[in-house]
Amino acid sequence: MINKDFFQALADLEQEKNINPDQFIASLETALTSAYKKVYGEAKSASVKLNPEKATIKIYSYKTVVEEVEDADKQISLEDAKAIKKSYAVGDTVAQEESTKDFGRIAAQTAKQVVMQKLKELEREQALSEISEREDELITTIVKRVENGTVYVQLAGSNMEGVMLENDQIPGERYVTGQRIKVYVKKIKDSYKGPQIQVSRANNGFVKKLFEIEVPEIASGDVQIKSIARDAGNRSKVAILSTKPHIDALGACVGNRGVRINTIMGELNGEKIDLVQYSDDPLEYIAKALAPAEVISVEINESLKASQVIVPDDKLSLAIGKQGQNVRLAARLTGWKIDVKSQSKAQNAELEMPEYEITELDDDTFADLEDLTD
């Protein structure tokens, strides 16, 4: 049967693993009660009670006092009940201690299973609690393996594993076992196998966290990142705003001789970054978002959240960008649809706002805008 050594080991385990003793004892009692019923009959009304202070285990069965017994597992006759205690009456519950002689081996096995299960649950809870604090953070990891395009990384200083799917990888990057890489903790989910950690290098949050690390003014809140639009591996546009009149947001992000922005682009393997001065004025904001192209004028249709931008003829291709990248990122950054026209084409036509179709941005873009805009 469970002995003093078991209870002492249990007390040591509770202290070492910081387990709530009351919860542990309750779990053991529930499991032992279930085990007892499986052996002696599920119909029995019984419970197992542990007393760590006295190092004892007792089993009690409960029966209701009745005039005539119909279910021997749950009922006891008034005559038999009075033989135990004269004050018993019909309807009372009689508790009797059962013999534990034949239950010792089963109890020990059940207790061992409960202890192991409780430890697994505790380890999972502790791991989840530890890593959940790292969600939306940048961490250093080591590449463990690459399988079918998916990269598995080990979080530095722990045994936990993160998963980086193909759409979370920077296009063109190659990952080698043992390589140390920074990743953004995108999402953490609990499962029966333990915490599932989704990490990313292509997420907008990766760029945002790099800026927070390299630019003290952003970490302190003196400069804010208002929005990010990114074509991972190629180009990002980052809208920034100074909250202090004496702080130059662009200068802070670029750093002395470009050291800060170059460090960030180096971590992104050369991905270009356009820093855009945020403005509450949509005309100014849209014009700045199309940098490095020069903008002559901007007209907007607020009801459709659409704009028409006029640029010099020789800047049209620059404003649009390769395969439309520049104007597409500018639209995602500002949240406005942008129609770009050359100056000559605009002069040869009646400059009326076209009837735009309402175009919905994808869910990820809206999520990025909500996350990065105050």
DSSP calls for 273-331: EEEEE--SSHHHHHHHHTTTS--SEEEEETTTTEEEEEE-GGGHHHHH-GGGHHHHHHH
Position 199 scores a pLDDT of 95
Each residue's pLDDT, cut to its tens digit, for the chain (374 residues) gives: 456 777 777 788 777 777 777 777 888 888 888 887 777 776 678 888 888 888 788 888 889 999 988 888 889 999 999 999 999 999 999 988 877 666 767 776 777 777 777 777 776 776 666 677 778 899 999 999 999 999 999 987 677 789 999 999 999 999 999 999 999 999 887 666 667 889 999 999 999 999 999 999 999 999 999 999 999 999 999 999 999 999 999 999 999 999 999 999 999 999 999 999 999 999 999 999 999 999 999 999 999 999 999 999 999 999 999 999 999 999 999 999 999 999 988 887 654 444 333 334 444 443 443 444 33
Range(s) of the chain covered by CATH 3.30.1480.10:
4-131
Domain 205-372 has CATH 3.40.1410.10: no
Tokens at 197, concatenated: 């950690």
Domain with CATH 2.40.50.140 in the chain: 134-200
Query: pTM higher than 0.75 for the full model?
Result: no
The fold of the 4-131 domain, in CATH, is N Utilization Substance Protein A; Chain:P; domain 4 (3.30.1480)
Taking domain 134-200, whether its CATH number is 3.10.20.90 is answered by no
Tell me, what's the pLDDT at 3? 61
- State residue 86 phi and psi, 5-degree precision: -65, -25
Task: Considering the chain, tell me which residue range(s) the CATH 3.30.300.20 domain(s) occupy.
Answer: 205-372
